[in-house]
Amino acid sequence: MLMKYPLDHPFSLAAEDVVKQIQTDIHKGISQNEAVKRSEMYGPNIFKRQKQKSLWWIMLVQFKSPIVYLLFFGAVVSLYFKDVLETIAILVVIVINALIGFFMEMQARSSMNALKKMDIILARVIREGKTRAIPSEQLVPGDLVPLEAGDIIPADGRLVVVNRLQCDESSLTGESLPSDKAIDALKEGTVIGDQHNMVFKGTSVINGNGKMVITGIAAQTQLGTISSLVASAADTITPLDKKLNKLSRKLIWITLGMTAIFAVTGFIQGKALLTIIETSIALAVAAIPEGLPIVATVALSYGMLLMAKRNAIVKKLSSVETLGSTGVILTDKTGTLTENKIHADTFAFPDENVKVHIEDHVLKFPEGVIKSSVENFNKLLLTGILCNDAVLSPNAKNKDNTKYSGDPVEVALFQIAIAAGLDTAVLLKQYVRIGEVPFSSEIMMMGTLHRTPAGDFAAAKGSVEQLLEKCSNVQSGAHIKVLDSKEKKEILSKSEQMATSGLRVLAFAYRSAKSLDAKDFMNNLTYIGMAGFLDPPRTDIKGAILNCRNAGIKVVMITGDHPQTALNIARKVGLIEQDNQKVITGKELPKSDSLTKEWRQRILDTAVFARASPKQKLEIADVFQQDGFIVAMTGDGVNDAPALKKADVGIAMGIRGTQVAKETASIILKDDSFTSIAEAVAHGREIFQNIQKFVVYLVSCNLSEIFIVTILGIVMPGATLLPLQILFLNMVTDIFPALALGLGSGDQTVMQRPPRDPKMNIITNKKWLTIALYSASITAAVIIAVVYCKEVLHSDDRTCNNVAFITLTFTQLFHVFNMSSAGDQLLNNEITRNKFVWIALIICSSLTFMVFAVPGMRLVLGLSVLSLKIWIVTIIVSLLPLITIQIYKAFSGKQQAKA
């Protein structure tokens, strides 16, 4: 059994206390022998391998469905009565459906493997005073690890030495800006995003260097915690699966009821037991919608192809339809609503504030900017370029493709200078750096000293409050005046306003003289102005969110970023109103097991959550699900993975998304655009309409078969449809028209209506009444044809059976035109415009004529060569249900119009 970790909250302890309690040395680390002992106590630095389900178990699970049980029952009974062909046909359906589910499940198995890819193969560690490279799984608590720019953090650790250290933790916390690291102790309860004296496994060092003492490995890291959350987040059964299973159970009870009626009636009439059993088998086969799982799968697969063209790659078939019933979209901020790139947004000068933006690589100023602000702006850009450690990337080719690496804020300064037309390379050559005061958490600023032919120039940037203490003057255009206390208060007030709006604020100052002391150039500076930096919203977001609102979909932002930054972006993208200040932070959010009714309602009413942990994202998704919403969750970071799995539909970003997020999600956006989500929702709604159409079609056809078998079994047993004839109808003349309905274009106004109630069945009570009408009209037509042939044409039982088969076949084929919406024209509607419907009718008609034309097939299905008169009668009678239903629809449409 592994020992308990020695430190629970290392961020709340002083660095020297951490070193002391964990028994290590800040210079030498631990010894090799001690490392071996600790490895035995705490185990390796790898995630616990989840025992995967066996392939056989995954295959068996595919058969866990009421409709599959019914199919198996039909196959067994058919085999008992030696109907081998019927048995084979049913089993083929079962196997095809199971294989599809099996391969989809196999694809989902890789979600946990993505986390393993984040394990580091080699890591540097200091043991016994010597730096060595070892496999990262051999790291133990207490190990001293040196950190440099470019390193991937191999474990969680407490920082003990820091030199301008910055880490990119966006994949873990959702914060766009790099985290500036320090070693000072923090308060208990400090959230991950604010734990600046800690570093976390899987994140990266982007600037500076330092040393950390490992305090957590494997499952005890933040990444390990997320790994366990992904594993524990239960996969929810999709609404479509639930509805299809519920429908199957209803059909089973209808079958049992009709079978019982027929059996009792047959027994009273004194019919032979074999006749009762054979007809009961026919009833069972008639009730089984063999084509339903296959048609649903093909329709959803077709939807997957169309959605792929709309930049949404669907990994889980049922997610296509589920997305269409989404009522809430929980979205990450960084990289989803925003560009995940830092830009200079606002400049505050002594005389005015100026908002700028870059368009086509050119800086755009608003109209009416005063001259003094322009002069200050130019001086600020010069200072920002000189007091800067960002470097030109080796692969940069031209001005439009100039790329810098380093601190994102410093990169943004270069970008805006280039957009303003400055030749940064020339300026850096003219101003030769001869001195530097590096940034540190103690002084909260940075300064550089430069030599030029005209004299020395000092450039400085940093915290507004700290930098002002070094300033004695303030510049306003060409004028420089003394910086008094009143001016300082005004500047500090401006900086607070900018920070409150979610901007990261830096102040800029300079000093120029013939000669400056390299040890004292950071005093008597001249203040220029401030710059506010922001990860801006994506340009297409506002319209996409508006479309979601019009469609009745609530969009909720959940981010690990600062509350004010989150609110600012939420306002910019139209997620909340400009005066809305409602935000819930992770710190104030109660634990899931102590959520009161009032807190649940508060969560449901809130659109912005900030400083949220991965576990809290999971819990917020659960609150919405428990309130009956179908939840879609978007994200791109490691921190989003648990909620992506928990949500009804997990949507990952394809470009910026981490491997973990993409493997866990059921849908991946190729373009990382929220707009693609709105388009995918629209298509999902269209698909549900198509599914509803073909389910109504299939069920009405199957019910009519049940009624026909029951009625003929009672009044004319010799004409009763045979099980294999019914199977032919279900597998051929039902499936192809149903498939055609599933591939229709759908209603183009779906995003102008609210999402449907997730509790609503595929077939509502109103639809059941419609199905009853459809089934009754089809049944009546078949009975009329059989009675006419028996009583008027004096046909024998075999011919009457064939008449029932032909009439039912063509009645069902014509019935597909009844699936048009009420009020549509008979010859011009979404069904008649669907090319797949006409292809299906041609295929089914051809197959029907073929089984009569080919002697072998005719014999297997118990069919005979029929006279032309019989064919004419059956075709004419087959049109009666279509004519009747269309007259009824036209009449009911007029009645509704009058109402």
**Phi then psi dihedrals of residue 882, to 5 deg:** -65, -45
Which helix (H) or strand (E) segment holds residue 240: the answer is helix 239-269
CA-based nearest residue to 620, from 647, 641, 588: 647
Q: Distance between terminal CA atoms of the chain?
A: 75
CA-based nearest residue to 331, from 50, 621, 576: 621
User: Is 125 in contact with 131 (CB distance < 8 Å)?
Assistant: yes
Structure tokens at 701: 């056809």
CA-based nearest residue to 319, from 692, 695, 684: 684
779 contacts: CB under 8 Å, gap ≥ 6 = 704, 707, 708, 711
The span from the CA of 606 to the CA of 643, in Å, is 18
β-strand partners of 634: 651
The span from the CA of 754 to the CA of 750, in Å, is 8
User: Is 733 in contact with 842 (CB distance < 8 Å)?
Assistant: no
Q: Is residue 622 annotated as a catalytic residue, yes or no?
A: no
Task: Tell me the residue type at 24.
Answer: T
DSSP state of 373: H
Structure tokens at 184: 């000072």
User: Is 537 in contact with 572 (CB distance < 8 Å)?
Assistant: yes
Residue of 332, 456, 636, 734 marked active site: 332
CA-based nearest residue to 292, from 715, 735, 592, 809: 735
**Phi then psi dihedrals of residue 279, to 5 deg:** -70, -35
C-alpha of 72 from chain center: 36
The span from the CA of 14 to the CA of 728, in Å, is 78
Task: Tell me the residue type at 314.
Answer: V
Which helix (H) or strand (E) segment holds residue 533: the answer is strand 525-534
* 3-class DSSP state of 5: coil
Q: Provide the sign of the torsion angle of the four alpha carbons 355, 357, 362, 368, taken in this order.
A: negative
- Catalytic positions, written as ranges: 332
